[in-house]
Amino acid sequence: MAASQDIIKHLASLKIIISEYNYQYYVLDNPSVPDSEYDRQMKALQAIELKYPELLTGDSPSQKVGDMPLPEFEQVTHELPMLSLDNAFDKESFLAFEKRMQDRLKNDAEISYSCEPKLDGLAVSLLYEHGILVRGATRGDGRVGENITANVRTIRNIPLSLRGVNYPQRLEVRGEVIMTRDGFVKLNKTQVEQDKKVFANPRNAAAGSLRQLDSRITAKRPLLFFSYSLGLVENEQYPLADSHSARLKQLSDWGLPLSKELQVAQGAQACLDYYQHLGDIRDSLNYDIDGVVFKADNIELQQKLGFVARAPRWAIAHKFPAQEEMTVVQDVEFQVGRTGAITPVARLEPVSVGGVTVSNATLHNADEIKRLGLKVGDTVIIRRAGDVIPQVVSVIVDKRPEDARNIVFPKMCPVCDSAIEKLEGEVVARCTGGLYCAAQLKESMKHFASRKAFDIDGLGDKIIEQLVDQKLVKTPADFFKLEFMQISNLERMGEKSAANLIRSLEKCKQTTLAKFIYSLGIREVGEATAANLAAHYCELEAIKQANIDSLQEVSDVGAIVAQHLVNFFAEDHNVQVVDELLASGIHWPKIEKIEVDFLPLSGQTFVLTGTLEKMDRNAAKAMLQSLGAKVAGSVSAKTSCVVAGEKAGSKLAKAEALGVKVLNEQEMIDMFVELGGII
């Protein structure tokens, strides 16, 4: 039965509506309807196309779900070659690039540049004819690529038909297909659950997803496309813009997505500032970049400069220092943490990564070792991003030596020889030795004396290790029983230092309930949770007696944290230590119950970043909490305000990108005064 005109009109209307939804969601990043509404419209479209298959066209939004597997990829010859870019690895190389352009132009005038993040993905070409996507292809060798049309159709932010009416009859758009970081994590989690191969990094995941013969698999992968240039252009109805940046704007008007980090810079110094800016915010982005691309913005200037064999003379990629390198795993050792967690650590052949020499990398747990398929002696790729602890990303199996040996996870604690247990539902194995384990004891003691806990001046890690090794302390309460002669006989501890430490121990007996709770080292009870417990219960005894239901009424305390608290105070030896600490003279001011809802900053989340010069960071944090604010460690869309001190980095950049309110230190102090806080 042929479709009626009403059905044909309804189908056309649905295509327009859904395409507009896709544009608003994926290109403008400003969805106008909830997902449920989008799903309803898509189901209506698919129902009509299923009933009337003759109405199904290649530009239908329903075609983003994938098609039947292909036997192989066809080759595509690019009508205009997709050239590479020359690289610059430092300031001098970039300045030399600019000087070459000026010399060739015989003009030393300042050059205007289009500045773009160098996305770490897969370069592709999209060909539109009369506004309809007719072909997608990989870059390949720059002249011949692979036809991946069926796969690119599935990528959510690639329009199957262009918007407007002013586009050329034949238009080739070039850009990068990437996978977001959170999408990559989810994909690998799914791969593990399905016992399939995991991907080493988002770039490999994106490339592997694009080269699926079954486009239905590609359709399930979290891929995105971002345009960065025009290729072939034929029969344009209206003149193209006379600058690269303006042409990118035209692509956006036609429905193609662009990076939100695009900028135009005047002169070399502005380019270097942009490079520094992207480097600062690099770790806060939800996708990988490995540098910045600078292009002479003026099209006429580009044409004058022309090309060399493989690259344009008017563009260069200014690369960031490498975050990944190859090295060899020489051994694997097992460390014991404060809570008994057994962490395997790879001992590496030292290698420089991002300007830092790396000789160790965390392997997290036994499941991670199994996932990697790692053996001692393997050549591996390690990754270091910002201040993140280096980690092994993947194993290069082809380089495995014959004498590579399996990694055997210990059954007994390597420090105290106690049994190791792994609880159901947990990935971390733990030593059962508790305070009997010297490793745990030392770490517990270090935590107790740390800056955010009792902040015992002069009681550093080395001194604590000596005290434990010499059995002078067995619990935190023993710190307050130490005598002058015991301390002065320690290595690197003279009489003056010993006297100072005795005074510090006496001074720190005046503390707060929040710091006291935090100092106990209860699993998953951090600084913020301890503060919330203190504010809620006001008294230690109330916290000790609280049950799981009561504890879950406290902000940020869920069932797991509540269970840890109950378990801690159910242990007689823990209660004994607490009692001994109190008996030693530790005390804190009485807490008056305050209704948080009535505090001026109630319901607001603050983040502190950078160096504060007028106010101690802990004091600022305590003041914010006393005014009802929650103080978080990371910036998100839910953050109310970021306080930025000197040398604020990625957190400030992320706040600015998200439009979060930013205060400097003086503005924060002024706010405290205005709200009645005591400075």
DSSP string, 356-406: EEEEEEE--SHHHHHHHT-EET-EEEEE--TTSPPEEEEE-GGG--TT-EE
* Residue recorded with tokens 């990094």: 201
The CA angle 230-235-239, to the nearest 5 degrees, is: 65
| Beta carbons of 125 and 146 less than 8 angstroms apart | no
Does residue 462 contact residue 492 with C-beta atoms inside 8 Å? yes
**Cβ neighbours, 10 Å, residue 468:** 20
Which positions are catalytic? 118
Q: Which two tokens stand for residue 502?
A: 């005795």
Contact 396, 380 (CB under 8 A): yes
Only one residue has tokens 């407007």, namely: 164
Helix, strand, coil percentages (3-state) for the chain, rounded to 5, are 40, 20, 40
Cβ pair 118, 293 in contact under 8 A: yes
CB count within 10 Å of CB 394 equals 20
The two counts, helices (H) then strands (E), for the chain are 24, 24
Treating both helix axes as pointing N-terminal to C-terminal, what angle do 267-281 and 91-105 enclose, rounded to 10 degrees? 150
Q: SS3 letters for 446-510?
A: HHHHCCCCCCCCCCCHHHHHHHHHCCCCCCHHHHHHCCHHHHHCCCCCCHHHHHHHHHHHHHCCE
Structure tokens at 101: 């352009």
| Burial zone of 572 (CB within 10 Å; 0-12 exposed, 13-18 middle, 19+ buried) | exposed
Residues 6+ apart with CB under 8 A from 122: 138, 139, 176, 177, 178, 203, 206, 207, 210
Could you tell me if 314 and 302 are in contact, meaning their C-beta atoms sit under 8 angstroms apart? yes
Query: CA-to-CA distance for 284 and 322, rounded, in angstroms?
Result: 17
Place of tokens 């790729």: 381
Amino acid at residue number 598:
F
Q: Is 653 helix (H, G, I), strand (E, B) or coil?
A: helix
